[in-house]
Structure 1
Amino acid sequence: MNANPLALPTPDLVTALVRIGLILLCAFLFSRLAFLAIGRIEQAIRAGTQGFPIEREKRAKTLGQILRSVTWIAIVVVASLMAVRELGFDITPGLAAAGGFGIAAGLGAQTLVRDWVAGVLIIWDNQFAVGDVIRAAGASGKVEFLSLQHTELRDGDGALHFIPNSEIKVVTNLSRSWSQPTVRIPIDIGEDPKRALAVLRDMLQQFAQDPAVKPHLEGVPRVLGIEDVYAGYFTVLLQVKTNPGQRLEMMRELRIATLYRLRQEGISVRPSGAASGSA
């Protein structure tokens, strides 16, 4: 280093401290503006029309978290270098040394660079976000953390998997876009099949308007028709298109609504011989 800040004349030292204060103030203001812009980006993603609201919320949180981290690191590094320079240190040799060290470190840390590049591509392509359930690199679970360097998955047993992003070659996203589960309803063979189908179609129209489930549906559920006929009953298929994260919940709600409506209409879902099967 070429200068010693302690050797500066008092007026110069005061001036340097004032400039450092201004640098810190500008860094703070810039960080606030940057975070405000990132917040606007998050709001724009949430207000979009692509996919379900819960998917947009997860993408907004993931992208916002990473942008804030990168922005904060960049501001701290730049402000620190400027402050050091104001104290009288010549940072040019340090920058040159850092450049040389960076080249050497880059050659020796190619895996880390690949992780960062893969992380950028994952975020850019929106392959998955925090909160999604995925299968990747031989593990499956819920994404709890995503950075440029690695991804953390929590599996069904509670184990936490740390996966370098460069190891993620193929991703199966189980929470993306939509899911279309099918519910099978057994109807007593003695019931009129046409009447049963008409009742179920009307029930699905009302089900789609229920405020508790409507935000999670994409379109009106459908009656696919009679799938099989067995001794004592036939099976009717119902299909609902929903957010993958709400798949099981929507199936449960659909079964409850179906049973409630069939009871109201006096349509039995039990095979005729079920009550006397042991006789």
Structure 2
Amino acid sequence: MGEGNFNWSNEVLTRLISQAGLIALKLVLIIVLFFIIRALGKKLIGSAFEKYQKKNTVNAGRIRTLEKLSINVFSYALIFFTVVTALSNLGVSVTSIIAGAGVVGLAIGFGAQGLVSDVVTGFFVLLEKQIDVDDYVTVGGLDGVVEEVGLRTTQIRGFDGTLHFIPNREITTVSNHSRGNMRAMVDIGISYDDDIDRALSVIQEVCDKVSAEDSSFKDGPNVIGVQSLGASEIVLRVIGKTENGMQWAGERTLRKRLKEALDVNGIEIPYPHQVYMEKKADI
């Protein structure tokens, strides 16, 4: 009797080990398939958007935005399907979980209003094309270049290299600096002793040369006249319009060329300085 029970126990144990091994093998296979399908899916989505961009004159940033969003949605759906498949192999009733998801989701919804707001706001940001990948924007008080626009967060890379994750519900105002030509503006001071008209003429000559040589300028640059009267200088202003993103380079070029031209023509650029006078000894 005892030997029979022992054999029966061994048989049950062997069966349990066999079933556990089979379940573990299935789970490993599911995980492997998850990574394979995710890699193939990302590659197919990338290829599809690349072909679409070649056939259509669509903004490259817009294409990258939609591509990353599609990859995110695909990944979320694949994760959900993988989890459901794994639970089914573990003997968990997925049908009852899905049936109760509505009630649980309603309960969670009251505590996840911020998440819902993120998704809704992100949807309208994408729908209205407010920002695209590679756009230079100001969002939530932060300046930078957009790296990714998702349904929950927007990623902006600051000019110091910091990557900012901004919840979409905090995007109340968007300043997009990458739509259309940008303004290049340079203020330069001259001495009160210099001839203003002569200085304006010299500066305009420089502007004309820069306009002819630098194709990034789409309008101007031109000197518009006296901007202000400072404590020790007369400030003259130069304004032009450049290709998007080229305004800073245009301003640097103007400053260099203007300084060189004013030096050649003997026009002084005032700067703060002190004069020390030697005290003469009493005779």
Deviations 1:229-259 (A, max 9, x none): 9799976542221356443332111221334
- Secondary structure of 2:73's aligned partner: helix
Q: Which residue of 2 aligns with 1:252?
A: 252
Residues 35 and 76 of structure 1, relative CA distance in 2, 3 Å threshold: farther
Q: Which residue of 2 aligns with 1:33?
A: 44
1:3 counterpart residue number: none
Provide the C-alpha distance between the structure 2 equivalents of 1:155 and 1:258, rounded to a whole number of angstroms: 31
In structure 2, relative to structure 1, the CA distance for the partners of 1:162 and 1:186 (3 Å cut) is closer
| Distance (Å, rounded) in 2 between the aligned partners of 1:208 and 1:90 | 69
Task: Report the RMSD for the aligned CA atoms in angstroms.
Answer: 4.9
Higher Cα Rg: structure 1 or 2? Answer: 2
CA change 1:98–1:148 in 2 (3 A) is: same
Aligned to 1:122: 125
1:77–1:44 Cα change, 3 Å = farther
Q: 1:228 to 1:71 in 2, by over 3 A?
A: closer
Partners of 2:40 and 2:153 lie apart in 1 by 31
Counterpart amino acid of residue 208 in structure 2: D
* Corresponding position: 1:239 with 2:239: yes
In 2: Cα distance, 1:29 partner to 1:65 partner: 15
1:268 aligned partner: 266
Aligned residues: 245
User: Do 2:189 and 2:234's aligned partners in 1 also have CA atoms closer than 8 Å?
Assistant: yes
Distance 1:159 1:27 in 2: 28
The yes-or-no answer on 1:104 pairing with 2:107 is yes
Correspondences of 1:6-155 after superposition (within 5 Å): 29-40=40-51, 43=53, 48=58, 56-57=60-61, 59-81=62-84, 91-129=94-132, 132-136=136-140, 139-142=141-144, 146-151=149-154
Gaps of 5+ in 2: 1-14, 278-283
Shift of 1:108: 3.6
- The 1-side partners of 2:196 and 2:106 are apart by 80
Does structure 1 retain, via aligned residues, the 8 Å contact 2:156–2:163?
yes
Q: Summarize the Cα distance change of 1:226–1:168 in structure 2 as closer, same or farther, 3 Å threshold.
A: closer
1:183 aligns with 2:194: no
Is the alpha carbon distance of 1:174 and 1:152 closer, same or farther for their aligned partners in structure 2, counting shifts above 3 Å?
Answer: same
Counterparts of 1:170 and 1:202 in 2: how far apart (Å)? 38
Alignment match, 2:8: none
Distance in 2 separating the partners of 1:45 and 1:234: 54
TM value normalised by structure 1: 0.61
Most deviating of 179-188 and 86-95: 86-95
Q: How far is 1:176 from its partner?
A: 4.7
Deviations 1:202-242 (A, max 9, x none): 31333324xxxx3xx4x142314433697999765422213
Deviates more, 1:248-257 or 1:195-204: 195-204
Mapped contact 2:207–2:254 kept (Cα < 8 A): no
Q: CA deviation at 1:161?
A: 6.4
CA contact (8 A) 2:206 2:257 kept: no
Structure 1 residue 27: deviation in Å?
6.5
Unaligned 5+ runs, structure 1: 1-5, 50-55
Pair 1:166 & 2:172 matched:
no
CA distance in 1, matches of 2:162, 2:208: 45
SS of the residue corresponding to residue 134 of structure 1 reads strand
1:206 to 197, 204, 212: 212
Amino acid in structure 2 at the alignment position of 1:92: T
Aligned to 1:226: 225
Alignment check: 8 A CA contact 1:144 1:154 kept: yes
